[in-house]
Structure 1
Amino acid sequence: MPNHHHRNPPFFIQDELQSSVFIVDDDCSTLSYQSTETNESTYLSPDNIKPKYRSTELEGSMNSSERMSNRIPSDHIHSKYALNASFWSTLNTRSKYYLPILQWMPLYTKRDFSQDILSGLSLSALFIPQALSYATALCGIPAIYGLYTVSITTFVYACLGMSPQLSVGPEATVSLIVGSGIAHQQSSAKHPFGPEEAATIASITAFFVGLFTLALGLLRFGFLDSLMSRALLRGFITAVGVVVLIQQTILSLGLGGLATQVGLTPDSTSIQRLLFLFSYISYFDPLTSAFSAAVLFILVTMPFLKKKYTAISKLPEVFLVVISSIIVCKFYKFDQAGLDVLGQVGESNNNLNLPLPIPSIPTLPDHADIKAIIVNAAIIAIIGFVESIAAAKSFARRHNYFVSANRELVALGISNIIGGFFGSFPAFGSFPRSKVHESVKPKTQMSGLLSGVTCLIVTGFFLPQLFYLPTATLSSIIFMAVLALLRELPHDLKFMWQVRAWKDVALMATTFFTTMFFSLEVGTAVAVMFSLIITVKQSSYPRITILGRVKDTSYEFKPIHDSKEKVEHLKDVLIVRIEEPLYFANTGQLKDRLRRLEQFGDMAVHPSEQPRRDHLAFIVLDIGGMEFIDASAVQILYEIIESYHEQRVQVLLVNGHPHVIPLINRAGIMDLIGSHHLFENVSNAIQSIEQDIQYTSFPNSHILGEGALSYSSI
């Protein structure tokens, strides 16, 4: 009987790159692959070992050592097998990182599917009416393209995206900008566009939006979501919400036809629309207004009823009002009484006689301005990705998982590129809709994938049932969706008032009124411009801290303004700590800031006042926080030190970073100040200054006192 308890000790194999160790036991039943860089281990079964390293013919007659030598020849194990395993392990890890579906799909269970199908169907009940509404009322294109957008972009994001809760599809702000761009194209064209041409422009816009977004992700520009301040973004979103509310109020009252008659165009500003509404509100259509009011009443009261009565807590109110509106309109023939309905939605465009999306290359309509489309696409890409990333990161924090902004940009970019070939208009994550999706507790991205499939089924088989859907219902749905965008406005205003953030309030108001009085494009441009100006201004001032000596100590130095202890300036010595790396953008103001510190000892003093400090004899620059410096900054630093040298002011450098000192040395700075003026800390530098005062005759030393530095308050 074989002895199963005795086993030869394992042997170790290290690959040629010295980055991996393979641990193989005596019968090759297991093999452990351990990376020396990450200290992670992966266990491989013998079935994964290449066949030429295994032997089955002599399995029974060989002892363990003989089998080992036949299975894993020493001349191959050292290189080929080790490198092969390392390559496939890396490929497996990277593919799961860049294709999240490969990460969660192998672990998928029936229990996950049951929850995901419920959340997917619930999301579809909201998705389908919103897609129809945004396409017709905001983009001004046939309703079926809204369903195409949902079906394709949701499906692609489910495969590439990282957030199970994020709902990608038509979004109110983006849809309104798309519609505004189409309106500008129509107003500037010699011949008006038809619905299909308008849809083509929307698809081309989606393609360019995808290109811009994908490029931002590949170039690792995910940090750009931090450029748009919350105040600017809140002002813009609030303006978009008010613009949409004004538009939908006109339609909900049945005044759309009258608005066209009196000269309102898609290019009209929101102020013009608001003036029209006040002037002609008495001409409202009773049937359309009553129908809109009834739908709004249901949408407003249902959430409260669902909280009170658990029996109806799972009912999707948006889907409910769509179905009930179709039934009521068809039964009472309201369409014949003057109520506008959606009408025929889509036609067959394939051999199956079904109106399913078919991939094609969109052709630019005659007289369309491709430059305007590209500019509009760039604006949409910025606004869309900022809102999407903000929503994705919010859900990631709440559910304790990680979201990479760059990977999300890639997923959103590919979704829009593919969608552009299927007739989609630009799609991004919607925070209000994603919160609804989160409430139904999706387990994985399969929930979004199933909602896309559901929309595809509706597109193929149930479009005729949408004929009697009143446009007033769609306007009411948009009305409620936009109110969700404005829900956080009171909280933000209260917070800004509480912290006295008047600059943020001014920025928010500027963005809001610019969008209201001019257009969405102008409002977007102003928001982006202000964000860039604020960012550049803040980054152009390097963070500088003034150090002083703690009172009643010899060599303890702390920041003048940030220390709880009594800290005072050293007479005739300025100690400055540079807190961050220096580069071309933040060194332009360095010379002026140092000059103000020389004169006043404080950046808060207005430059019109009289100098408060005597002429300097020494300046100590603590560059410990300067871990990087580029060529432009080195040149400016050289000029600053050269200027001090001409004024007979000694410059001492402290705590130089190992990566910075060689560059400073090559620039000739050390030749200016002398290598003996480079110190490990501020205390050593001050001791050296005191020794110089005691034993040398230094220019300006007559103001320093007898052999030691004194301190003074400013």
Structure 2
Amino acid sequence: MEQPVLEGSMAGRWFGSCCSYRTLKAWLPILSWLPHYSLSWLQMDLVAGLTVGLTTVPQALAYAEVAGLPVQYGLYSAFMGGLVYTFLGTSKDVTLGPTAIMSLLCASVVGGQPGRAVLLSLLCGAVQVALALLRLGFLLDFISFPVIKGFTCSAANLLGLRSVPQKFYLEVYYTFYQLPEARLGDVLLGLLCLALLLMFLWMKNTLGPQTAHGPWRATVARRVVYGAATVRNALVVVVASCLAASCDASGFHIFTITGKTAQGLPAFAPPPTSETSPNGTVVSFGEIVAGFGGGLAVIPFMGLLESIAIAKAFASQNNYRVDANQELLAIGLTNMMGSFVSAYPVTGSFGRTAVNSQTGVCTPAGGIVNSAIVLLSLAFLMPAFYYIPKASLAAVIICAVAPMVDYRLVANMWRIRKLDLLPFSVTFLLSFWEVQYGIIGGAAVSGVMLLHNVARPTLKVTDHGVLLVEVGSGLSFPATEHLSQVLHRRALLASPPRSVVLDLCHVNTVDYTVVQELRDLLEQFRLRGASLLFARVQPSVLEVLLTADLPGLKHTDDLAAALQVQFDDTSTADVLE
């Protein structure tokens, strides 16, 4: 009669722990900092959010062009991240929104079809949320740094031309083929915008440190220059738009402008699960998903990699920690909810996160201000975007993606470990064909290299009268054949057969296959009149070996004693012969 009461109490304790305030804070990090929120934090978050918002709007418009979508979709994708991340994010600095890499991936998968881009956001978000709930964030560790850098370097080759195929070799061909069609006004304006952006960036980088007791005029001038350089994208786009509007009013249509865009906030509705082709054929949900191909796996992983890498970098810089699985949940829910407001997949932005951090943001609440700026732009400023020259957006894109090309990286890899150039090169070259193939190919090469290290652990063999074989890393089932071959070649096939001390000090775990191979080796050594002794066996490994009850198992914690025992046994055997 008491058993049901016991079960009920255990269930009650489990339910209580799941619904405790501590668990709630783990799932809603806002509860950790909101009770301590202060007026000084509010002031800093307002300034940071406003600054980031002025950076977000022109970049979002430009990245929508990269994705092959109407420019308003960039703004649709830019506001949900700030709202969701405020409640779920564990980094005070990270800003979620459209980025160059995600826009490029989206363009390669959906081919500029808005409906498919929105559906892709929902599916990517679902994959990311599933990874978070299953605590599978460790899978991201299998994408190596050379693969990430190989992809980002190739992504920086965006040219942003209209009606140009996505494959790199075709981009190169059509770029030169269409040069005579380039409009002189667009070329000059693009170069001018690019020069202004570089000038602002140079001014910001050459600002000296702020002095505490300097003249007030110098302090004001420094803040003006710093502020203008920080929102340089917005300033350049506004100036270029005013120039384009003036020329258009005077009857000189010399610039390619954005044109009419949809005004107002997007409708809150689920993404379309089917579509009608131009010839009237209905394309089903399954056919759309099949059309996404490998992009449905690549895009969620790249989004997570980019966002978590940024979060960890700024957490280390500003002395706090982030929860990787909680970050997965935040970005996944952002993409899922974003799909209901016509957003395409987003991730963390390094540039805007840097701006957020440098302007002194104190909590993720700065994202609310950023989102408010984007929403106000959608509600009231869309008619003003009519005159934004596409050349100015192209200049914004170039300045955003150019820093991703790290020319020193190849030299560093060559100097530190040349083999890492292999996955880097595979990713870099294949990304020029199809970006998802580049990531998959690079990850596959990294995986093969990793598996090779597992299957071929370092075995250091030295002669001390008897052979000492030191296993330099872990010992798992792929490595058993390699270990067996080395022992057979160096000891069992020698004339006469030699005894061996197997040093397992670096081995922390063994599996059933390894145990069976060791059982066979012990028998082979016995049949050939030699012995195999295990030295410095870790307690966890020794427990497995003792449980397996290996016949003839001998072990010792002292390496010198093991060598002496084997040497004495060998000497005795020689005398007897």
TM-score in terms of structure 1 length: 0.70
- In the other structure, the counterpart of 2:413 is 496
> How many Å separate the matches in 2 of 1:436 and 1:597?
61
Give distance in 1, aligned partners of 2:575 and 2:350: 66
1:330 is paired with a residue of what secondary structure?
helix
Query: Which of 103, 119, 130 is residue 204 of structure 1 equivalent to?
Result: 119
Amino acid at match of 2:309: A
Q: Secondary structure at the match of 1:408?
A: helix
State the match for 2:272 in structure 1.
362
Matched residue, 1:60: none
Equivalent residue for 2:80, pick from 152, 158, 175 = 152
Instruction: Give the letter for the 2:203 counterpart.
Output: L
User: Deviation digits for residues 84-142 of structure 1, max 9, x if unmatched?
Assistant: 8995799222322332211111111110110111111111111111111111x221222
Report the equivalent of 2:48: 119
- Counterpart of 2:24 in structure 1 is 95
Which residue identity is paired with 1:511? T
**What SS class does the counterpart of residue 501 from structure 2 fall into?**
strand
Please show how residues 121-270 of structure 1 align to structure 2 within 5 Å.
121-135=50-64, 137-183=65-111, 198-242=113-157, 244=158, 247-248=159-160, 251=161, 256=162, 260=163, 264=164, 266-267=165-166, 269-270=167-168
SS in 2 for 1:105: helix
Post-superposition offset of 1:497: 4.2
**Counterpart in 1 of 2:225?**
312
1:571-611: CA deviation from partner (whole Å, max 9, x where unpaired): 1x222333544333443432234445549xxxxxxxxxxx9
2: CA distance between counterparts of 1:398 and 1:126?
22
Q: Post-superposition shift, 1:702?
A: 6.4
Cα–Cα, structure 1 residues 216 and 231, in superposed 2: closer, same or farther, change >3 Å? same
Q: Deviation digits for residues 602-630 of structure 1, max 9, x if unmatched?
A: xxxxxxxxx9x764432222334333222
Matching of residue 592 in structure 1 with residue 475 in structure 2: no
Match of 1:273 in 2: 171
- Letter of the 2:46 counterpart: I
Cα distance change of structure 1 residues 288 and 177 upon mapping to structure 2, 3 Å threshold: same
Residue pair 1:225, 1:389 contacting (<8 A) in 2 also: no
Deviation at residue 153 of structure 1 after TM alignment: 2.1
Q: Which blocks of at least 5 consecutive residues in structure 2 are unaligned?
A: 1-8, 208-220, 276-281
**Cα distance change, pair 597–235 in 1 and its aligned pair in 2 (3 A):** farther
1:320 CA drift (Å)? 0.8
**Which position in structure 2 is the counterpart of 1:417?**
336
Quick check: 1:617–1:701 contact (8 Å CA) kept in 2?
Answer: no
1:286 maps to which residue? 184
| Corresponding position of 2:382 | 463
Question: Take 2:71 and 2:456, find their aligned partners in 1: how far apart are those partners?
Answer: 51
Aligned to 2:468: 575
Indicate the residue corresponding to 1:345 in structure 2. 261
> What is the aligned length?
541
Tell me, what secondary structure is at the counterpart of 1:369?
Answer: helix
The 2-side partners of 1:378 and 1:123 are apart by 30
- 1:364 counterpart letter in structure 2: S
User: Which residue of structure 2 aligns with residue 299 of structure 1?
Assistant: 197
Pairing 1:509–2:435 present: no
Is 1:379 aligned to residue 294 of structure 2? Answer: no
| Residues 426-445 of structure 1: pairs in structure 2 closer than 5 A | 426-445=345-364
| Contact 2:536–2:558, Cα closer than 8 Å, also in 1 | yes
Who is 1:333 aligned against? 248
Q: Find the residue that maps to 1:344 and give its secondary structure.
A: coil
Output the CA distance in 2 between the equivalents of 1:584 and 1:276: 52
1:619 aligns with: 500
Mark the CA change 1:337 to 1:86 in structure 2 (over 3 Å): closer, same or farther.
Answer: closer
CA distance in 2, matches of 1:443, 1:169: 19
| Matched residue type, 1:584 | F
Counterparts of 2:437 and 2:527, CA distance in 1: 51
Is the CA contact 1:432–1:485 (under 8 Å) kept in the aligned structure 2? Answer: no
Q: C-alpha distance in 2, partners of 1:504/1:121? A: 41
Structure 2 CA distance for aligned equivalents of residues 593 and 157 of structure 1:
54
**Letter of the 2:428 counterpart:** F
Cα displacement string for residues 160-198 of structure 1 (whole angstroms, at most 9, x for unaligned residues): 121222222111111111111122xxxxxxxxxxx7xx2
Alpha-carbon distance in structure 2 between the residues aligned to 1:206 and 1:322: 28
Aligned to 2:38: 109
The answer for the alignment partner of 2:4 in structure 1 is none
Are 1:129 and 1:322, in contact at CA under 8 Å, matched by a contact in 2? yes
1:590/1:220 Cα in 2 relative to 1: closer, same or farther (>3 Å)? Answer: farther
| Cα pair distance change 1:621/1:84, threshold 3 Å | closer
Q: Relative to structure 1, is the Cα distance of residues 512 and 346 closer, same or farther in structure 2, using a 3 angstrom cutoff?
A: same
Matched with 2:449 is 534
> Which amino acid counterpart does residue 441 of structure 1 have in structure 2?
G
Amino acid at match of 1:482: V
Q: Which residue of 2 aligns with 1:605?
A: none
Change (3 A) 1:593 1:395: farther
Counterpart CA distance in 2 for 1:637 and 1:388 is 45
The equivalent position to 2:440 in structure 1, one of 525, 533, 555, is 525
Letter of the 2:272 partner, please give it: P
State the shift of 1:687 in Å.
Answer: 4.1
If asked which structure has higher relative contact order (CA below 8 Å, sep 6+), I would say: 2
CA distance in 2, matches of 1:588, 1:100: 49
Q: Taking structure 1 as reference, are residues 506 and 652 closer, same or farther at Cα in structure 2, changes over 3 Å only?
A: closer
Aligned equivalents of 1:305 and 1:591: distance in 2?
Answer: 64
**Displacement of 1:231:** 2.5
Q: What is the Cα deviation at residue 656 of structure 1?
A: 3.4
Contact map agreement 1:208 1:374 (CA 8 A) in 2: no
Higher helix share: 2
* Deviation sequence 1:413-454 (CA, Å, 0-9, x none): 222122223221111112233223222221111112321222
1:8-36 per-position Cα deviation (integer Å, ceiling 9, x unaligned): xxxxxxxxxxxxxxxxxxxxxxxxxxxxx
- How far apart are the structure 2 equivalents of 1:502 and 1:413? 36
Counterparts of 2:272 and 2:452, CA distance in 1: 42
Q: Is the 8 A contact 1:432 1:484 kept in 2?
A: no
- Which SS does the other structure have where 2:480 is aligned? coil
Amino acid at match of 1:143: V
User: Deviation at 1:336?
Assistant: 6.2
The DSSP-based 3-state class of the residue aligned with 1:467 is helix
Equivalent position amino acid for 1:582 in 2: L
Q: 3-state SS of the aligned residue for 1:314?
A: helix
Q: Report the Cα distance in structure 2 between the residues aligned to 1:413 and 1:590, rounded to whole angstroms.
A: 44
Tell me, in whole angstroms, the C-alpha distance in 1 between the residues paired with 2:17 and 2:548: 47
Q: Percent identity?
A: 25
Cα deviation for residue 462 of structure 1 reads: 2.2
